[in-house]
Amino acid sequence: MDRNQLWARVLLEQRRNGYSIWRMLGRMRSRYILRLMASVICLVAAVLSYETWFRLLCVWAFGMFAGSMLRDVAWLRATKRDWPFFCEMIDWAKVEAVAAEEDAGVEPLADRQV
């Protein structure tokens, strides 16, 4: 299954069940687990370090990880707010066609003439 087909199926699922922030966060679970582990490592290193510059570096890194997570949640909230508009603007017949295509012989969506 190519990426376009996967996202077409995600769009159809969201249309059927409604847009859910928790469902989208669940889809990105591995990214968030990796970010959480990196954040915990940075905080532990900052606590155990005796060097001021290293502590500052660790706190900066933790802030970057936390900020990226907050950015993602804000983006998902904005998408949820705008979802009714997206539902009106999306050509659902095209989305259903992409989702139903077989893997063999499918040209990428970017190469198609619209």
Q: How far apart are CA 41 and CA 32, in angstroms?
A: 14
Nearest 10 degrees: Cα torsion 101, 104, 108, 113: -70
Per-residue pLDDT reduced to its tens digit, 37-90: 988 888 888 888 888 888 888 888 888 888 988 998 899 899 999 999 988 999
Task: Quote the CA–CA distance of 61 and 48 in Å, as a whole number.
Answer: 15
How confident is the model over 83-112, as a mean pLDDT?
76
pTM: 0.66
